[in-house]
Amino acid sequence: MQVGDCEGGLLKAQDTAVELYQLAALMLGNESEALNLVESTVAQVDVDPCAEEEAAVDAARHHLIEAAVARMKQIDPQAFVAPAPADGPVVSCIEEEDLSAAGISSSQMAELIGGAGRGDLRVWLEKLPLAQRAVFVQRAVLGWDNGTTAACLDTGTGAKPAWSAQQVSGMFRQALCSLANSLVHSEAHKATV
């Protein structure tokens, strides 16, 4: 990342670095590895802080996520093998692939991502299979669609056969079911304490 003299460029670069660190920590679950990944991303992505902010930040996000997926694949090379396409309808605890279908409000998700629930979210993410974690972060945290997420998985892993949007959708619904279940148990535990 280049640091220019334009108005607010340094602040934009700092905000982007913080966001990238938070994403890397969610993906990798290890703060020191997250920091190393952000440093690597900032060094490798040529972003002009004076350029249109969203395009520059989006390029850095994609690079970071692809690099995180590649590191996660090094930990477990089989974790990112694309699941076999389903022959029939996919059975899941939810029909839709949005947060509200899983009983999770947008305010709950915001609290988990950026508020007091961040630690709980990271603990829950660490229990997920690596591919589910990567899909969840891309879909729920970044708001990317199934096709974009599949492309990032393919780029990060070099997966053959490639991931499809349908496979990402199924994996995201599994993660949403897991999160909804975890939240229900957490609320029940809080009620008994």
Position 133 scores a pLDDT of 95
CA-closest candidate to residue 121, choices 59, 190, 29: 29
Position 178 scores a pLDDT of 86
Position 146 scores a pLDDT of 95
CA-closest candidate to residue 186, choices 98, 119, 110, 94: 119
Kindly list the distances between the CA atom of residue 181 and the CA atoms of 25, 102, 163, 175, 177, in Å, as whole numbers in the listed order.
Answer: 23, 9, 26, 10, 6
pLDDT 10s per residue in the chain (193 long)?
A: 444 556 666 777 788 889 999 999 999 999 999 999 999 998 888 766 666 767 778 889 999 999 999 999 999 999 999 888 766 555 566 655 655 655 666 677 667 777 666 777 888 899 999 999 999 999 989 999 999 999 999 999 987 778 999 999 989 988 888 887 877 766 655 656 5
3-state helix, strand, coil in the chain (%, to 5): 70, 0, 30
Q: Which residue has the tokens 């974690």?
A: 133
The 3-state DSSP class for residue 88 equals coil
The H-assigned helical ranges of 137-164 are 146-157
CA-closest candidate to residue 19, choices 99, 148, 114, 115: 114
Distance CA 113, CA 38 (A): 18
> With contact defined as beta carbons under 8 Å apart, do 122 and 29 qualify?
yes
Q: What is the tally of helices (H) and strands (E) in the chain?
A: 8, 0
